[in-house]
Chain A
């Protein structure tokens, strides 16, 4: 018989799960608010996915182009998100990002500089002005290291290589987290008053993804099982430019900074095809000739932006269409060329890690030859539905979410650069939210022993059963069905196939077997993460089936247009009383008038200060 008294119990006020940018920023804030804070992460500190972010962090500081302001950033983000974003979150984000970026400098970050000596900013898809503070093409590394080096001195306790298994509840409210040490396989109970989820997304359910092994949708599944709502899960961002060759690196990210710095997309006929794919809504703001695009690259302020810098959903679908029409590159992508646009030494200076990555992994010298690129699953716009003022779950008291794990900020499509600012702004907000929640809390909480023992037994059964399916095989099957049936272009029949496959895989996963002991056993870890990936995949497929339109990161072949009706709704999933997933439409709130005016304003009126 399992005795809960023998399990290590650690008490904190707040447990933050995930130590990427959002988790670190949340833990820093929570500590600053005087709360005892524990930071739990699956990898070593500083290795989380933020480290992979390349291009920059979006903040309307106006250091390069003085015309920029929070209103333009707000308008760009709403338009990029196809108006499905939470208006209040986007407002808060646009206003707050500059302070959050400057704060990083206070903590030791060293961004690239303007001639005046301020933080430099670069162009990016969907952003009207040069807005991305950056460090070459390794901005994420700079941010995570800055937060890490600052965070370790703020009094938080850090639990590395620890995986959360289940959120513990006392009645309705959060009272802790059950987790295990990856090194030893020992279980641990974190008793706490609030939990902040900052676990990122769930790209590992797809075959071609820029995401690492950690991205298994843990936060979505933990929240879902605890009774939280998941929103906008159908909106999965396929980044237009992932590597396509060699096979073993298929999906690895090629920064949008390549296009921001002038890189062009070509098909196998040598055509700069993006000029053919300019959506009506963006036509007035996009260059329609190569000549104008070239002038823009030379910083002519009257020239419009090249079509390669349209939002990610548009570019990814254009590449997909070119490849399908037989105009792709030899390995099933298209060509991305910076070599003809910039001198070699500048390329090496502005894009050092891209140069390195292609040289080492694909034996391509990007200062001389084009890259081959294609869409890769990169980011989840959807996630835990939260209160826009506090980041608290709409249904579970004491549960908070921030960064990619939460929904609302990015709507149907995220602009590049907005996730690094998102995680700073909303990581901090979650820390403040947790403080407010805990201050109002009365009475003590108790751990439910049954919940703990049931969860532990389920986990150890995987090791103890005589035989069962190989966890890697189940994962592979899931990746295949998600890639084939819930990909960049979706259709009813295929989404139904995916859902029926997911049902079968759930049954297989219930009987999965991991050989070996519990000590640092990746097979067991893989088996334990299957549940998260299955919940995530189901939520995506169900929402994708319900949304009968195409918008941002969700494209339906059978409903190819944006619908005026559907912009009024988000889709929300939660666990029903019978344990099955319920997925429903939910009417969006009307936006505040002052925000509606900014979103609908013409660029001229905004620039003239009329709005």
Chain B
């Protein structure tokens, strides 16, 4: 057991401060354990979100010493023995209280996305047929636990606050998971360009770096979606073909 110094943001969107706490830390603890200890012993009303405590639900996202993390998966022994640990809320979304932010914008984005539409021809009475190698890409995207850490570090959302123009990496992989779903027959490429703002991403890969599920957001989702947009709208041969056939897409 060792006494450690923690600084935690206390306050709301308008005003707040980093408050200092001394906490006894035991072997094997993660940052969320320490926050819980502060909550139980010193500050009953300190607001944090958490659920599964095993990196599966994506509730406890925050910034620890400036790095976006899941606090349940961040072990205390990954820091120096005397290092002060500073915990702040994720920056891209408005603070409700302490470490809890208003992430409702993300839920609104999901609702804008055209739902899954399966091809009825690909099933019989035993169900749908898809091969394992064909579903693996979609499965990679479906590992997403909606921690919104990728949204938090996306420059378009964080630094430029263009939530009006770009849905962010989380929903680019949601779109990619639908577009690359072997059964899906809906077309979302026009919206990917126009409504969801694929052009805004300039491929800095910050989202990929922070993904706790190690999803290759940029390389496997965003870039292929951008390529589909380019093929559709900026390929001169396709453009001519569209002119001839009268296809409006």
What CA separation (Å) do A27 and B26 show in the bound complex?
43
Interface residues in A218-253 by Cβ distance below 8 A to B read: 245-249, 252-253
Interface segment, one of A144-152, A306-314, A582-590:
A144-152
Query: Nearest chain-A residue to B135 (Cβ)?
Result: A110
Q: Tell me, yes or no, whether A102 is within 8 Å of chain B by CB.
A: yes
Q: Tell me, yes or no, whether A45 is within 8 Å of chain B by CB.
A: yes
Give chain A's interface secondary structure class.
loop
1/0 per residue, CB under 8 A from B, across A198-231: the answer is 0000000000000011100000000000000000
Query: Is B75's CB under 8 angstroms from A361's CB?
Result: yes
Interface centre among B52, B100, B128, B131 (most CB of A within 10 A): B52
Knowing A63-B126, A110-B142, A152-B111 touch, does A248 contact B29 (C-beta < 8 A)? yes
Q: Tell me, yes or no, whether A112 is within 8 Å of chain B by CB.
A: yes
Query: Is A108's CB under 8 angstroms from B58's CB?
Result: no
Interface residues in A106-140 by Cβ distance below 8 A to B read: 106-108, 110, 112-113, 116-120, 135-136, 138
What CA separation (Å) do A472 and B38 show in the bound complex?
11
Query: Is A522's CB under 8 angstroms from B39's CB?
Result: yes
Q: Tell me, yes or no, whether A517 is within 8 Å of chain B by CB.
A: yes
Q: Tell me, yes or no, whether A514 is within 8 Å of chain B by CB.
A: yes
Query: Is A117's CB under 8 angstroms from B129's CB?
Result: yes
| Closest chain B CB from A102 CB (angstroms) | 5
Query: Is B52's CB under 8 angstroms from A51's CB?
Result: yes
Query: Is B127's CB under 8 angstroms from A118's CB?
Result: yes
Knowing A43-B59, A107-B116, A516-B44 touch, does A135 contact B142 (C-beta < 8 A)? yes
Please give the number of chain A residues whose Cβ is less than 8 angstroms from any Cβ of chain B in the complex.
67
Q: Tell me, yes or no, whether B110 is within 8 Å of chain A by CB.
A: yes
Query: Is A118's CB under 8 angstroms from B142's CB?
Result: no
| Closest chain A CB from B10 CB (angstroms) | 11
Query: Nearest chain-B residue to A214 (Cβ)?
Result: B51
Knowing A43-B59, A110-B139, A149-B110 touch, does A524 contact B54 (C-beta < 8 A)? no
1/0 per residue, CB under 8 A from A, across B165-209: the answer is 000000000000010010110000000000000000000000000
Interface centre among A105, A245, A470, A517 (most CB of B within 10 A): A105
**Contact partners of B73 in chain A: CB under 8 A:** 360-361
Q: Tell me, yes or no, whether B56 is within 8 Å of chain A by CB.
A: yes
Query: Nearest chain-A residue to B139 (Cβ)?
Result: A110
Q: Tell me, yes or no, whether B18 is within 8 Å of chain A by CB.
A: no
Query: Is B56's CB under 8 angstroms from A51's CB?
Result: yes
**Contact partners of A7 in chain B: CB under 8 A:** none
Contact of B110 among A152, A356, A523, A524 (CB under 8 A): A152
Interface residues in A87-118 by Cβ distance below 8 A to B read: 102, 105-108, 110, 112-113, 116-118
What CA separation (Å) do A117 and B107 show in the bound complex?
33
Query: Is B47's CB under 8 angstroms from A357's CB?
Result: no
Query: Nearest chain-B residue to A111 (Cβ)?
Result: B135
Query: Is B28's CB under 8 angstroms from A245's CB?
Result: yes
Knowing A214-B51, A248-B26 touch, does A105 contact B128 (C-beta < 8 A)? yes
Contact of B54 among A152, A361, A472 (CB under 8 A): A361
| Closest chain A CB from B142 CB (angstroms) | 6
Q: Tell me, yes or no, whether A353 is within 8 Å of chain B by CB.
A: yes
Q: Tell me, yes or no, whether A290 is within 8 Å of chain B by CB.
A: no
Knowing A45-B107, A52-B54, A142-B142 touch, does A150 contact B59 (C-beta < 8 A)? no
**Contact partners of B132 in chain A: CB under 8 A:** 112-113, 120
Q: Tell me, yes or no, whether B23 is within 8 Å of chain A by CB.
A: no
| Closest chain B CB from A242 CB (angstroms) | 11
What CA separation (Å) do A138 and B140 show in the bound complex?
12
What CA separation (Å) do A522 and B49 show in the bound complex?
9
Query: Is B111's CB under 8 angstroms from A357's CB?
Result: no
Interface residues in B66-85 by Cβ distance below 8 A to A read: 73, 75
Q: Tell me, yes or no, whether B57 is within 8 Å of chain A by CB.
A: yes
Q: Tell me, yes or no, whether A519 is within 8 Å of chain B by CB.
A: yes
1/0 per residue, CB under 8 A from A, across B91-118: the answer is 0000011101001100100110001101
What CA separation (Å) do A471 and B50 show in the bound complex?
18
Query: Nearest chain-A residue to B34 (Cβ)?
Result: A248
| Closest chain A CB from B187 CB (angstroms) | 16
**Contact partners of A362 in chain B: CB under 8 A:** 28
Query: Is B100's CB under 8 angstroms from A520's CB?
Result: yes
| Closest chain A CB from B140 CB (angstroms) | 10
Query: Is B75's CB under 8 angstroms from A360's CB?
Result: yes
Query: Is B51's CB under 8 angstroms from A118's CB?
Result: no
| Closest chain A CB from B79 CB (angstroms) | 15
Contact of A110 among B26, B49, B56, B181 (CB under 8 A): B181
Query: Is A523's CB under 8 angstroms from B55's CB?
Result: no
1/0 per residue, CB under 8 A from B, across A58-69: the answer is 000101000000
Query: Nearest chain-A residue to B122 (Cβ)?
Result: A117
Q: Tell me, yes or no, whether B3 is within 8 Å of chain A by CB.
A: no
What CA separation (Å) do A520 and B59 show in the bound complex?
15
**Contact partners of A106 in chain B: CB under 8 A:** 118, 128
Contact of A248 among B33, B118, B145 (CB under 8 A): B33
Q: Tell me, yes or no, whether A78 is within 8 Å of chain B by CB.
A: no
Knowing A119-B127, A515-B45 touch, does A47 contact B115 (C-beta < 8 A)? no
**Contact partners of A214 in chain B: CB under 8 A:** 51
1/0 per residue, CB under 8 A from A, across B19-38: the answer is 00000001111100100000
Q: 5 smallest A-B Cβ distances: which pairs? A: A246-B28, A523-B44, A516-B45, A108-B116, A117-B129
Between-chain CB contacts (< 8 Å), 22 pairs: A46-B57, A47-B58, A51-B145, A102-B127, A110-B130, A112-B132, A117-B129, A117-B131, A141-B145, A212-B51, A213-B51, A248-B29, A252-B54, A353-B56, A356-B55, A357-B55, A361-B30, A471-B44, A472-B40, A515-B45, A521-B47, A523-B45
Which positions in B face A, CB cutoff 8 Å? 26-30, 33, 39-41, 44-59, 73, 75, 96-98, 100, 103-104, 107, 110-111, 115-116, 118, 126-132, 135, 138-139, 142-143, 145-146, 178, 181, 183-184
**20 additional contacts (CB under 8 A) given A46-B57, A141-B143:** A43-B49, A47-B51, A49-B52, A51-B145, A52-B56, A105-B183, A108-B118, A112-B135, A117-B129, A153-B115, A212-B50, A212-B51, A360-B75, A472-B39, A516-B45, A520-B98, A521-B47, A522-B44, A522-B46, A523-B39
